[in-house]
Each structure stands twice: as C-alpha cells, then as structure tokens.
Amino acid sequence: AAIQSALRQVSQPFIDREVMLALQGRGVLIYDGDLTGRPVANSSTTYPNVAFGWMSEAVHLGYQAALVSMHSPTYGRLWLSVEQHPGDTVSVTQAAALVQAAEAQTGARPWRRTDLLAARLASVKSQLQTAEMELEDAQARLAQTRQRLDQLTHELVVWQQRLAELTEDYHRRGRPERPHSRLAQARRGLQLRERRWPRRCRDLDRDFRRWERRQRRVELLQAERQTLEQRLAQFTEDNRTNPWPIRAIFRLDGGFGSGPNVALLIEMGYDVYSKASDGRVIRAYRRQVTATTPWTRVGQNSEVITWGNVRITHCPYPLDVALERFHTGAKQRHAVLLHYGETPVRSDPGSWFEFYNGRQDIEAGIKEGKNVFQMHHLKVRSPAGLPIQEQFAAFAANFVRWAAAWLHEMCPAAPAPFGQAQANVKRLVRIAANTSAWVIGQPQSWLLKFTELSAFAEVELVLRDSAPLQLALPFFEKL
C-alpha cells in the first residue's frame, strides 16, 4: 500500500497536467481500456489466485491485467491504472471497473446522463407492471389447470374402483359383459379419463413453464429496477458533487461491447467507441447486405456499411453501427463497430474507422510492457509482489516518457532518441540505459558524454546544474 501510494504521489502532478492540456487543446479526454493475459507455466502450483483463461489465442494458466491509458498531448500515452485478476476473468465483466479506475486517477468525470437513466427506469417500471399482471394471469391459469388435473385424478380413482366392483360382481354372478351394460359403460368411462390424463399433464407442464418464464422475467425486471434506482441515486449525487464536468471518450474492444456495458457507459456520460461482442449481431447485419449494397472504403483492405439510430440487445439507447469487411487474401472477416456520442461519425466513416483503430496505442503499450519491461514473465509469486510488479511496470513506462520529455527540454538539439518530446521507449531502455558514458561535472552543468564504444558515440548531452544526479552505488568489499 505504501508503494502504491508513493507511485500515485509521484504520478499525479503529471496526470493532472495532461488532463488540463487535453481539455484545453481538444476539449475531451480520450481513454482506452483493455484486458491482457499474463500466462505462467500450465503445470505451476505456486502462483496464488491463478486460474486458466484465454490468453494469447489459447487457454493458459495465469492472470489477466486490466489496464487503462489516457491519450496524452505531451507524452502520447499515459498509463492510469493496472489491476491484476485471475486468468478466468473476462472482459465483459470489467468495463465499469476500468471507467471507475480512470476517473479515480484523473479526478475528472463527465456529467452523468440522469435524464436518460430516469427514462429507462420509468420504462423498466412499466414493463415490470405489465410482467406482474402477466404473471398473475399465468398463476391463475396454472391453478386452474392443476385443479382440472386433480379433478381428473380423483375421477380416475372413482372409475377404477367402480370398474373393479362391477367386474367382480359380474364375475360372481356369471353375467356376460354386453355393449351397453353397466360394466361396459364403466370401462368406457375409465378409458375416456385415461385418454384425457396425458393431455392434462401436458397442459400442466405447458402452463407451469409459462409461469416459470413470467416469474423469471419479473425477477429480472425487479433486479434491473433495483440496480437502476441505485445507479440513478448515485449518478444524481455524482452530478451534485461535480462542479466541473468534462467531455470524455472511452474506446474498448469487442470483448467489452455488450449491450449492458454500452448502456452503462452512455449513462455515465461517455462517448463510446466499441465493437459488438455478440457474433449474432454480426450475422444479423450481414443478412441485411445484398449484392447491390454500396460499401465505403476506409482502409487499404477495409470497407464499411453504416446505419444510424440502431438498438442492440440490452441497450435501450440509439447507436451508430458500422459493419466492417476486411479482406485478408482470399478470406473475408467481419466486425460491427458501435458508437454513441455527439460526433456525426456516419458522415465520415473513414475518420470513424481511423479513430477507433487508435486503440492500437494501448495495444502497443501492452506489447511494450511485455517486451521492454519484461511483463511476459512474472518474476514474483507472492500475493503482494504480483500487483507491485504490475504497478512498477506501468510506472516505469510513464517515467521513461516523463524523463524523455524533460531531456528534450534540456537538450532540444540532441539527436534521436534524446531530442524527441515523445519517447522511443524501447530504444531508450534497451540501448541508451545500457550503454557506457562519462559523467563530467562542470561549473554550471553536467556533461553526459557517450564513449566511443557505445551505440551513441560522440553524442554529448549538457544538463544544467539543477538536474539531480544519482551515481551508481559503490561495491562494498568484504570485511
């Protein structure tokens, strides 16, 4: 906890500054969220809280890291939050947590759309009232059907007893059974009720299943009403305590793009860019395409068709939808883009496609974390050490960017990778931080002069005297 507190204390001024710059420049904060696997050996038994899950296009034992980044005007990308979960955690369960983590770090949030939420709650209450009436009707019908079956069961017992008594009487008296005799009538009466029995059982089963469906619907609507009432109360309080609402965009991949998640982000005030998580949505829109439907090219091998004012399952709000078609050799792949917000994305599908694919920034960050900061291999196995490693890796990625921007201010004429405002992190960490140089003290500055044998021979960086300097720790001789 102390480590995490210290990292937040160091990071917060940088985050606050980038929030202000982003809002000043573009008037909007752009967040990206994702879930990435941290696999371990499938035979391992020493990692705590580990589970099998989908990672790297296969099932592995390991963890899932939920990450949120912010588009930064100065640094390009800033990590805001990383949270470790068991490997069987799936993206669709983490959308709300990602948004809350982003808001906790930036201290800024949009105006909650309580008007939409209140209208949705009113609709759910109306649906619940109708469902409760339908449930009462189903209960009455079920009770009637059960009563009819009970009556038939009683009649069966009576007619069985009557047939048995008459059969014994006719046998004792030696009377033959004639077509219209009392014994024949009793036999026909019993047969009639035996034929009715399966039909009455089917009726009971049908009415019971109808009652179950309506009971389940009432329970779901009651749970949804309770959730929405709690959410409305919370969002009303959020708005009351939010004197400075901002505009913000959240981009998420298809794993997060369920109807409930999209609806929640809309109600939280965000502009949403995502993909549909349900393959049935893709199939439904593909069925709407004919041979004459015009496609709009948005990339070298990508085309889209757009629709507006569309509603997907479990999301009551109108969305912009685009069916994507990707050409990979002779094969075609399809996906469905989802959007909610004030930007008229359908008027410029190319910009919509390009902006959503800006999510590649967080994907590049995930790759950077695995390859540059060694998160492809978890080096600790303690319950505290594992999240600390995640925290340090995210902090290190941010720190290198802060340092690179500072170095650019100190030495704006320096060659790459030192004279760049936005860092080439891989080159700075893997090469620059591991090459030899002389540190030379001068009256008003420090001179960092790379040696002839280094990758940056003849490069000199002059750092003014206010720059802090930490030399390598000395080696202690054995006593």
Task: Return the H-helix or E-strand segment holding 91.
Answer: none
pLDDT at 419 over 90: no
A 10 A CB-CB count for 138 gives 19
d(C-alpha 462, C-alpha 290), whole Å: 65
Predicted pLDDT at 478: 52
C-alpha 185/C-alpha 189 separation (Å) is: 6
> 230: which 2 tokens?
């709690």
- The residue that leads in pLDDT, 139 or 423, is 139
pLDDT in tens, 194-206: 899 899 999 999 9
Residues 229-255 pLDDT 10s = 999 999 999 999 999 999 999 999 989
> What are the distances in angstroms from CA 125 to CA 121, 220, 226, 236?
6, 12, 10, 19
Which runs of consecutive H residues, i.e. helices, occur in 268-383?
Answer: 279-287, 349-356, 360-371
Give yes or no for residue 430 having a pLDDT over 70: yes
Q: Where are the beta strands (DSSP E) in 341-459?
A: 437-442, 445-450
**Among the listed ranges 22-36, 51-65, 182-196, which one has the minimum average pLDDT value?**
182-196
pLDDT in tens, 367-399: 999 999 989 889 899 999 999 999 999 999 999
The rounded distance, in Å, linking the Cα atoms of 55 and 90 is 10
Average pLDDT, the chain: 91
Residue 265: phi and psi, rounded to 5, are: -65, -35
Tell me: cis bond preceding 176? Omega within 30 of 0 counts: no
The mean pLDDT of 26-39, rounded to a whole number, is 95
Going from the C-alpha of 231 to that of each of 201, 263, 265, 273, the distances in angstroms are 44, 12, 12, 22
**In the numeric block, which tokens belong to residue 378?**
């978890």
CA quadruple 101, 256, 371, 72: dihedral positive or negative? negative
Measured distance CA(408)–CA(104) in Å, rounded: 30
pLDDT of residue 479: 47
Q: Is 210 helix (H, G, I), strand (E, B) or coil?
A: helix
pLDDT at 60 over 50: yes
Q: Which residues pair with 460 in a beta bridge?
A: 449
| Paired tokens of 211 | 């009652």
Residue where the block lists tokens 């990979």: 328
CA distance linking residue 408 with residue 413, whole number of Å: 8
Mean pLDDT is lowest, of 193-197, 296-300, 439-443, 447-451, for 439-443
| Axis-axis angle for helices 114-173, 259-267 (nearest 10) | 150
- In sign, the C-alpha dihedral spanning 86, 89, 94, 98 is positive
Beta bridge partners of 296: 304
The 10s digit of each residue's pLDDT in 315-331 is: 999 999 999 998 887 78
Two tokens at 189?
């009466």
pTM confidence score: 0.86
CA distance 174 to 168: 10
- Render 131-176 in DSSP notation, one character per residue: HHHHHHHHHHHHHHHHHHHHHHHHHHHHHHHHHHHHHHHHHHHT--
pLDDT-above-90 percentage for the chain: 66
**How far apart are the C-alpha atoms of 157 and 160, rounded to whole Å?**
5
What is the per-residue pLDDT across 355-371, written as a single tens digit (0 to 9) for each?
999 999 999 999 999 99
d(CA 417, CA 431): 10
For the cut 90, the answer to whether the pLDDT of residue 167 exceeds it is no
- Segment 130-148, tens digit of pLDDT: 999 999 999 999 999 999 9
Q: Kindly state the helix (H) or strand (E) to which residue 197 belongs, with its residue range.
A: helix 182-240
Residue 24 has pLDDT above 80, yes or no: yes
Task: Extract the tokens encoding 45.
Answer: 């038994």
